[in-house]
């Protein structure tokens, strides 16, 4: 079978050429699944079949992200790409929606890899490397500032980042849980 791409939590945004998965049955949804129950209900895909994942403003709604990322790892081909768009943790957007259950920051995606569990084992057996994290900021406010100035504000102020986009790839077989195997992502700043 050729390359399969999985759009997680598609909602009403149906992507052509993708398998559109959502919790709610509606027009254009190909697969119905509860992404927050991956510990008990595996996703209906064979191992090593998905080459690309896309989730836009889904992950912050997931109460149990580790079982989801482990299940994604199972169905992912080696080196598969996963792109997550989320509100940045220190933005009002991350908290205003009462259906948001988790906030994400620059280091959050590292916990979807094995090397971040060098101190404790929670039974998670997925392994993803965060390649890049792109922070989208307002052009009018931050266009004249340096990267260092913007990053200082990201770390010290609220509502700097309009959206964060993380790009991860699968590592198969999973790595050992050793701190020295951690790979820091490239952090980019882009303007909207």
Q: What is the pLDDT of residue 1?
A: 52
Q: What is the pLDDT of residues 18-64, one digit of tens each?
A: 999 999 999 999 999 999 999 999 999 999 999 999 999 999 999 99
DSSP 57: S
Classify strands 50-56 and 76-86 as parallel, antiparallel or unpaired: parallel
Domain membership flag for residue 126:
yes
Q: In the chain, what are the helix, strand and coil shares in percent, each to the nearest 5? A: 25, 30, 45
Domain membership flag for residue 16:
yes
What SS3 class is residue 40? coil
Whole-angstrom distance, CA of residue 57 vs CA of residue 9: 8
Whole-angstrom distance, CA of residue 170 vs CA of residue 172: 6
Q: Identify whether the C-beta of residue 85 lies closer than 8 Å to the C-beta of residue 129.
A: no
Domain membership flag for residue 33:
yes
Domain membership flag for residue 141:
no
Domain membership flag for residue 142:
no
For residue 87, pLDDT over 80 is answered with yes
Q: What is the pLDDT of residues 107-163, one digit of tens each?
A: 999 999 999 999 999 999 999 999 999 999 999 999 999 999 999 999 999 999 999
For residue 14, pLDDT over 90 is answered with yes
Domain membership flag for residue 120:
yes
Give the CATH number of the domain where residue 106 resides.
3.40.50.150
Q: Given strand 128-137, what is the order of strands in its sheet?
A: 31-32, 19-22, 4-8, 50-56, 76-86, 161-170, 128-137, 186-191
Domain membership flag for residue 153:
no
Q: Which domain holds residue 110?
A: 4-136+162-184
pTM of the model: 0.96
Number of domains in the chain: 1
Domain membership flag for residue 146:
no
Q: The tokens of 110 are what?
A: 């590292």
Whole-angstrom distance, CA of residue 113 vs CA of residue 126: 7
């Amino acid at each position: 079978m050729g390359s399969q791409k999985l759009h997680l939590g598609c909602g009403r945004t149906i992507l052509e050429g993708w398998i559109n998965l959502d919790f709610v049955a509606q027009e254009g949804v190909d697969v119905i699944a509860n992404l927050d129950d991956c510990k008990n209900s595996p996703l209906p895909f064979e191992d090593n079949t998905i080459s690309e994942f896309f989730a836009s403003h889904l992950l912050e709604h997931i109460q149990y992200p580790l079982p989801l990322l482990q299940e994604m790892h199972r169905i992912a081909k080696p080196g598969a790409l996963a792109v997550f768009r989320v509100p940045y943790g220190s933005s009002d957007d991350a908290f205003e929606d009462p259906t948001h259950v988790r906030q994400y920051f620059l280091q959050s995606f590292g916990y979807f890899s094995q090397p971040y569990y060098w101190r404790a084992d929670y039974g998670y057996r997925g392994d993803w490397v965060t390649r890049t994290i792109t922070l989208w900021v307002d052009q009018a406010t931050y266009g004249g500032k340096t990267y260092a100035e913007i990053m200082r504000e990201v770390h010290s102020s609220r509502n700097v980042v309009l959206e964060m986009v993380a790009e991860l790839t699968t590592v198969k077989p999973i790595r050992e849980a050793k701190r020295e195997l951690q790979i820091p992502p490239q952090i980019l700043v882009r303007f909207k």
